[in-house]
């Protein structure tokens, strides 16, 4: 029997998604290391299914301003993927790529914003490519977009698109370690339910 909501996922499905999340985020850390020319690792990622408000609290609270790089997914699976970049992570990126940093998000100039889009896109596309390679599922990505807003507003995007299907979100979180300094970073993968069922079948997971 196919799942109808994220909260229908059982232990076997969650274990499979955790393994996929670990491989995907590991590949994202490797790609980020090459871009920044720094040693970048990822702690063991958490894959969690959470309600909207719980997910917002998990990434730092609804009123905290952050940067988000959003990519829409097409092909065999529809959905979106969001990279949430806190200010300390942003400044690490800017120092490595442009030798500067900002005190507040509103101080970002066009070149700095382009650098963040590039980093977010590399992490997301590397993750998706790993997922596609593991499952044999074709996944196409749109051009990434950068938004700077309160986290509650940024996270409202997946809920607006897929909230009619479920009140839950799939979150993949972990801390990137750059030169032994730990930085939080959150990835949010929100596939449509039909696509999630297809992905699980391709990964060899049966439902029911």
Boundaries of every domain in the chain: 6-202
Query: Per the structure block, which two tokens stand in for 29?
Result: 């850390």
Residue with tokens 């940093």: 101
User: In whole angstroms, what is the distance from residue 138 CA to residue 76 CA?
Assistant: 5
Top pLDDT among 109 and 55 is at: 109
Write the pLDDT tens digit of every residue in 74-130: 999 888 888 888 898 899 899 989 999 999 999 999 999 999 999 999 989 999 999
**Residue 40 near residue 122, CB atoms below 8 Å:** no
Q: Between the ranges 26-30, 90-94, 165-169, where is the mean pLDDT highest?
A: 90-94
140 confidence band (pLDDT: 50, 70, 90): very high
User: In whole angstroms, what is the distance from residue 79 CA to residue 86 CA?
Assistant: 23
What CATH number has the domain spanning 6-202? Answer: 3.40.1550.10
205 confidence band (pLDDT: 50, 70, 90): confident
β-strand partners of 171: 48, 188
User: In whole angstroms, what is the distance from residue 1 CA to residue 202 CA?
Assistant: 15
């Amino acid at each position: 029997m196919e799942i109808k909501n994220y909260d229908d996922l059982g232990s076997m499905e969650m274990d499979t998604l955790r393994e996929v999340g670990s491989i995907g985020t590991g590949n994202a850390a490797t790609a980020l290391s090459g871009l920044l020319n720094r040693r970048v690792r990822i702690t063991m990622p958490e894959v969690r299914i959470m309600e909207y408000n719980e997910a917002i609290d998990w990434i730092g609270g609804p009123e905290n301003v952050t940067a988000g790089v959003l990519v829409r997914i097409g092909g065999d699976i529809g959905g979106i993927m969001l990279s949430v970049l806190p200010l300390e992570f942003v400044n690490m990126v800017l120092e490595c790529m442009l030798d500067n940093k900002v005190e507040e998000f509103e101080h970002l100039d066009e070149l700095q914003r382009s650098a963040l889009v590039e980093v977010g896109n590399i992490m997301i596309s590397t993750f998706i490519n790993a997922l596609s390679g593991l499952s044999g599922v074709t996944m196409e990505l749109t051009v990434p977009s950068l938004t700077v807003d309160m986290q509650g507003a940024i996270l409202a995007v997946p809920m607006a698109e897929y909230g009619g299907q479920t009140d839950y979100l799939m979150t993949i979180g972990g801390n990137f370690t750059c030169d032994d300094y730990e930085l939080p970073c959150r990835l949010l993968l929100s596939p449509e339910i039909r696509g999630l069922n297809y992905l699980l079948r391709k990964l060899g997971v049966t439902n029911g």
